[in-house]
Amino acid sequence: MSVSNPSMIVQDIGSPCVGSTLSRPCRFDPKCDTCLVLTPSSHDTATALEFSGHGCPVCGGTDLRLYLDAENPDMTHEGIGSSRKVFSPGRVLRCAKCRHGFRKSPPTPAELSELYRRMDVEVYEAEHESRVQTAKRHVRLLSRWASPGRLLDVGCASGVFLEQALRFGWDVAGVEPNEALVSKAARRVGSQRLWNTTLEEADFAPESFDAITLWDVVEHVVDPPDFLRRCARLVKPSGTILFKIPNLDSWQARVMGRRWPLLLPEHLGYFTRSSIRASAERAGLEVVFFGRGAVTFTAGYILLRAGQHRVPLTQFGYRVAGNGFLGRLRLSIRLGELYVVARRASTNHQPAGDLS
Ligand SMILES: [Zn+2]
């Protein structure tokens, strides 16, 4: 155990897990049900960790573990998004209290906004047809929890989900900081429905939406409770907030370890059911539903992404099949994401059960 600050404990990853019955150093042993870390890449690096942050961004907990000690270069616009040229999820810490994982030393909100404005979207757009399938799945989920009304999609990207929601009778609005994506979204739903900015910079009146959707968004923010609180203010008292987040307790994250495809440079937070519930409660929201998320992509895109994570044989597979018939086959896969439905805490609700 190394202590770099009297009020802040960072356990190095050569130590046994707290609560574990194992006497040897924890190496993600499946017998250890309190395991919070991945196999160490370097014990020396871990013990040399100097932590000077402010604790867990969700619960404020100060008992932190080094979950992943990857190379930790500065985030650049070339390292984020589907077209990324360089790859490192950075140094990821994990809270022992709520199990939340988070990137150490995240960029400031202004730096993040600038990164997303400059992000290359070429590969993202190449998967358009796959994203339509995922968007239809999201609209079906939304329809189970809310009747059509005014909808805000934060991080709306190229507007694929907005277009589907519009067809289902929603009065849609979208926020997206990347200008290239907004111009594509404008062709789908009209520029009058779009705000080329971040939610923090947009100026919406309180309680002006019946539903807010956050697909692959909350893991990109520095302070999840603060971000959700901002959303809670914008939704009507009877309104609904839906989102999808990476689940660090999923079997995919546990089995794939440092090759888990959702360990990404631009992901600042990795949730668990307890940490997203705690984030929601601090925002004045109540979680009313958890479901396992799925996404649709072509086999070629899946091989490309897996190759970025150095999953064995996938780079070879992408060279062989990436652009051919096999590479164009469309697959629905589960990567360990979690759907969450939340409502303002005082609202009565009728949960529709778990989504399979
Ligand atoms: Zn925590």
Cα distance between residue 162 and residue 284, in whole Å: 26
For strands 2-5 and 235-246, give the pairing: unpaired
**Is the Cβ–Cβ distance between 250 and 336 less than 8 Å?**
yes
Q: How far is the CA of 133 from the centre of ligand 1 (A)?
A: 34
Q: How far is the CA of 190 from the centre of ligand 1 (A)?
A: 41
Q: How far is the CA of 271 from the centre of ligand 1 (A)?
A: 10
Q: How far is the CA of 99 from the centre of ligand 1 (A)?
A: 6
pLDDT along the chain (356 residues), means of 10: 40 43 47 47 38 76 79 57 61 86 81 69 67 91 95 96 97 94 95 94 94 95 94 96 93 81 88 95 96 75 68 64 66 86 74 43
Cα distance between residue 277 and residue 157, in whole Å: 26
User: Measured in whole angstroms, how far is the alpha carbon of residue 9 from the centre of its chain?
Assistant: 26
Q: What is the DSSP letter of 31?
A: T
Superfamily name and number for 122-343: Vaccinia Virus protein VP39 (3.40.50.150)
Q: How far is the CA of 216 from the centre of ligand 1 (A)?
A: 20
**Is the Cβ–Cβ distance between 159 and 192 less than 8 Å?**
no
What are φ and ψ of residue 19, in 5° steps? 90, -10
Q: How far is the CA of 57 from the centre of ligand 1 (A)?
A: 7
Domain range annotation of the chain? 6-117, 122-343
Cα distance between residue 284 and residue 175, in whole Å: 22
Q: How far is the CA of 231 from the centre of ligand 1 (A)?
A: 21
Q: How far is the CA of 282 from the centre of ligand 1 (A)?
A: 12
Cα distance between residue 224 and residue 283, in whole Å: 9
* Residue 66: Cβ within 10 Å count: 25
**Is the Cβ–Cβ distance between 161 and 143 less than 8 Å?**
no
Annotate 51-87 with DSSP letters as a single string.
--S-S-TTT---EEEEEEE---PPP-GGGSSTT-SS-
Q: How far is the CA of 205 from the centre of ligand 1 (A)?
A: 31
User: Measured in whole angstroms, how far is the alpha carbon of residue 138 from the centre of its chain?
Assistant: 16
**pLDDT at residue 42 in the model:** 37
Q: How far is the CA of 165 from the centre of ligand 1 (A)?
A: 35
Tokens found for residue 151: 């909808």
Q: How far is the CA of 128 from the centre of ligand 1 (A)?
A: 36
- Tell me the CA distances in angstroms from 30 to 27, 120, 145, 165, 181, one per residue in order: 9, 39, 37, 42, 42
CA atoms lying within 13 Å on the CB side of residue 30: 6
Q: Collapse the DSSP code of 161 into the 3-class scheme (helix H, G, I; strand E, B; otherwise coil) and give the result.
A: helix
Annotate 304-336 with DSSP letters as a single string.
HHHHHTT-TTHHHHHHHHTTSTGGG-EEEEEEE
Cα distance between residue 302 and residue 318, in whole Å: 9
